[in-house]
Amino acid sequence: MLETLKEEVYEANMQLPKLDLVTFTWGNVSGIDRDKGLFVIKPSGVPYDKLKPSDMVVVNLDGKVVEGDFNPSSDTPTHTYLYNHFKNIGGITHTHSPWGVAFAAAKMDIPAVSTTHADTFFGDIPCAPALSEEQIKEAYELNTGKVIVDEFENRGIDPDAVPAVLVSQHGPFTWGENPDKSVYNAKVLEVSAEISYHALQLTRDNIGVPQYLLDKHYYRKHGKNAYYGQSNAKSKDHMNEL
């Protein structure tokens, strides 16, 4: 079942250690088939060097395992809630990458202070509140998803334009159109967090990028008038010439 998606999710998970985004088993990636209403996620606690595509676990949008020999990631309820509420996303990544976690531990947004950030995230990456004792005891992972969605709704942030969040005292979650893109966004978040940290040590001035610069860098890569990179047609023609 969903063998192609399992392969995609496996490959995306294998990028996490390669990109220095995880230590030990501290992270996971999932990907969804919207037509079937099923998603595939990494099994819980299995070392990356032991993983195989066939180990990936298939879960429905009620959070129930449909296929798999292993328990799914302990963060499965968070992924389930995000897929049910952010309808355009096709993949989710969760890491404990250190620069992102540093901002989460400080309960701070990652500010947009550079075009590196603005190329991917249309504004600051929000930090959602820490969960209460009651929320943790009741349904920790499910309530993690709820505080993320609530934060975006309360702030009026478009999750397609800012495909990332920090959960206070926990860490980053990112998403994208597919599993691979969600990993890409996780790496950009980590780089942006490191840049922001160092910049904030150097000055107490307001160093947020102005809106016109944010607009320029975000929209040259996103939307109908994007012009960064090569069109599919041009790329194919170039490959034919080669």
Query: Is residue 219 in some structural domain?
Result: no
pLDDT band at 242 (very low <50, low <70, confident <90, very high): very low
Q: Taking the model in full, what pTM does it have? A: 0.94
Query: Is residue 224 in some structural domain?
Result: no
Alpha helices in the chain (DSSP H): 3-18, 76-85, 98-105, 115-118, 133-155, 179-202, 211-219, 232-241
The C-alpha atoms of residue 122 and residue 209 are separated, in whole angstroms, by 11
The C-alpha atoms of residue 24 and residue 29 are separated, in whole angstroms, by 14
Query: Which residues are known catalytic residues?
Result: 119, 228
Domain of 53, in residue numbers:
3-209
Residue 238 in this model has a pLDDT that exceeds 50? no
Query: Is residue 104 in some structural domain?
Result: yes
Query: Is residue 58 in some structural domain?
Result: yes
Q: Give the least confident one: 167-171, 199-203, 233-237.
A: 233-237
Give residue-wise pLDDT tens across range 36-81. Answer: 999 999 999 999 999 999 999 999 999 999 999 999 999 999 999 9
Query: Is residue 36 in some structural domain?
Result: yes
| Residue 42 · residue 101 · CB < 8 Å | no
**What are the helix and strand counts (H, E) for the chain?**
8, 8
Query: Is residue 103 in some structural domain?
Result: yes
Query: Is residue 232 in some structural domain?
Result: no
The C-alpha atoms of residue 152 and residue 158 are separated, in whole angstroms, by 7
Tell me which DSSP letter residue 22 carries: -
pLDDT of residue 232: 60
The amino acid at residue 161 is: A
pLDDT of residue 230: 87
- Our measurement of the distance from residue 25's CA atom to the centroid of its chain's CA atoms, rounded to an integer in Å, reads 17
Domain count, the chain: 1
CATH of the domain at 37: 3.40.225.10
Residue 235 in this model has a pLDDT that exceeds 90? no
Query: Is residue 195 in some structural domain?
Result: yes
